[in-house]
């Protein structure tokens, strides 16, 4: 019946027409739907739509049409409504109809299904490099779910792959959440630090830290910090670890929480820049602290930079070197 209607002059009416008076069609009730205990017309209609949609799954446009008509006719007590929306979402996404996929996602009343679709939506757009729909869409109550999805993905891939952190930064910046944007870039710098310190990685770390610092300068002075987790912890949401927006106390900080201030970040950036300067001279500084790096810089004639580094990290003046007959102490 569906195939006949599909080949008819007006195939757009096919699903609805084929489902009319379904309970009078012995073929459907006795064979295709024989295992269903419920003979309710709307319930049977939805079952028919799902059955036929499976048969037409290779024709995504027609399959989606069947499912969307099923959604219009579904009994509100039928718990398969969420299943229908999930299928429509998947088909829209396959066809790269991101607007339609987004509508299907937010129309699904099941919260868990919404979150699963959101994760698929975010990762699909991220992997395809189509960042516009992802950054500019309005997610209503699901917006807070975006950051954890991108963070988890970003931390799971190689440090050389920075697109997820870059995307998270763009997502936060578009919404003028500059502390969230700073946190994204700071996390990127920390993720890169976990690998081998190549020249390219140090340059990327420097860029990430400078971007994070610039973002923090766009927020109020009392908010110029980011909260992250320790190496073994889970990334934390971007919110004050001490007080609510009304001034009330929050839950005490976890022992795994690390709060990094703007000053700390600037000092870290200075250290990365020092490592980068030495790396350009083929000097590896992995595992060295600020005073040791300052010593190497002084030996290379970078006295001003070495002094600033020691001052920033409040290191004692214990680094001395002799250069061109001049005694240098820091």
Residues 145 and 240 reside in one and the same domain? yes
Please state the rounded mean pLDDT for residues 35-46: 62
Residues 245 and 302 reside in one and the same domain? no
Q: Give residue-wise pLDDT tens across range 100-140.
A: 999 999 999 899 999 999 999 999 988 888 788 888 888 77
Two structure tokens written together for 48: 């028919």
Residues 299 and 252 reside in one and the same domain? no
Q: Is residue 49 part of a domain?
A: no
Q: What does pTM read for this prediction?
A: 0.74
Residues 329 and 301 reside in one and the same domain? yes
Is the pLDDT at 239 greater than 80? The verdict is: no
Q: Is residue 314 part of a domain?
A: yes
Residues 167 and 295 reside in one and the same domain? no
Structurally, how many domains does the chain consist of?
2
Residues 295 and 193 reside in one and the same domain? no
Domain boundary among 274, 297, 314: 274
- Name residues whose C-beta falls within 8 Å of residue 158's C-beta, 6 or more positions apart in sequence: 195
Is the pLDDT at 318 greater than 70? The verdict is: no
Q: Is residue 152 part of a domain?
A: yes
Residues 162 and 264 reside in one and the same domain? yes
Residues 247 and 299 reside in one and the same domain? no
Domain enclosing residue 312, as ranges: 288-330
- Which of 10-14, 86-90, 253-257, 306-310 holds the top average pLDDT? 86-90
Question: What pLDDT is attached to residue 210?
Answer: 97
Residues 144 and 172 reside in one and the same domain? yes
Residues 205 and 322 reside in one and the same domain? no
Q: Is residue 105 part of a domain?
A: no
Residues 262 and 145 reside in one and the same domain? yes
Domain boundary among 228, 248, 274: 274
């Amino acid at each position: 019946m569906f195939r006949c209607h599909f080949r008819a002059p007006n195939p757009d009416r096919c699903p609805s027409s084929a489902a009319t008076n379904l309970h009078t069609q012995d073929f459907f009730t006795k064979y295709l739907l024989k295992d269903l205990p419920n003979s309710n017309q709307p319930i049977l209609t939805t079952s028919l739509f799902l059955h036929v949609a499976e048969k037409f799954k290779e024709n995504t446009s027609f399959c989606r049409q069947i499912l969307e008509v099923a959604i219009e006719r579904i009994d509100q007590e039928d718990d398969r409504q969420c299943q229908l929306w999930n299928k429509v979402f998947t088909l829209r996404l396959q066809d790269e109809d991101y607007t339609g996929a987004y509508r299907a996602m937010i129309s699904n009343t099941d919260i868990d299904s919404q979150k699963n679709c959101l994760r698929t939506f975010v990762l699909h757009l991220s992997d395809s490099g189509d960042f516009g729909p992802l950054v500019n869409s309005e997610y209503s109550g699901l917006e807070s779910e975006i950051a954890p999805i991108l963070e988890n993905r970003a931390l799971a891939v190689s440090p050389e792959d920075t697109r997820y952190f870059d995307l998270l930064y763009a997502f936060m910046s578009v919404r003028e959440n500059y502390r969230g944007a700073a946190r994204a870039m700071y996390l990127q710098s920390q993720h890169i630090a976990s690998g081998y310190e190549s020249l390219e990685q140090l340059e990327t770390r420097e860029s990430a830290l400078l971007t994070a610092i610039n973002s923090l300068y766009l927020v109020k002075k009392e908010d110029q910090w980011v909260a992250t987790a320790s190496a073994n912890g889970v990334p934390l949401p971007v919110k004050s670890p001490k007080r609510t927006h009304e001034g009330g106390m929050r839950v005490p900080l976890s022992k795994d929480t690390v709060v990094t201030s703007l000053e700390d970040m600037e000092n870290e950036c200075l250290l990365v820049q020092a490592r980068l300067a030495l790396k350009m001279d083929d000097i590896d500084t992995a595992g060295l602290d600020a005073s040791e790096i300052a010593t190497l810089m002084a030996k290379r004639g970078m006295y001003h930079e070495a002094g600033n580094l020691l001052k920033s990290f409040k290191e004692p003046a214990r680094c001395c070197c002799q250069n061109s007959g001049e005694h240098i102490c820091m």
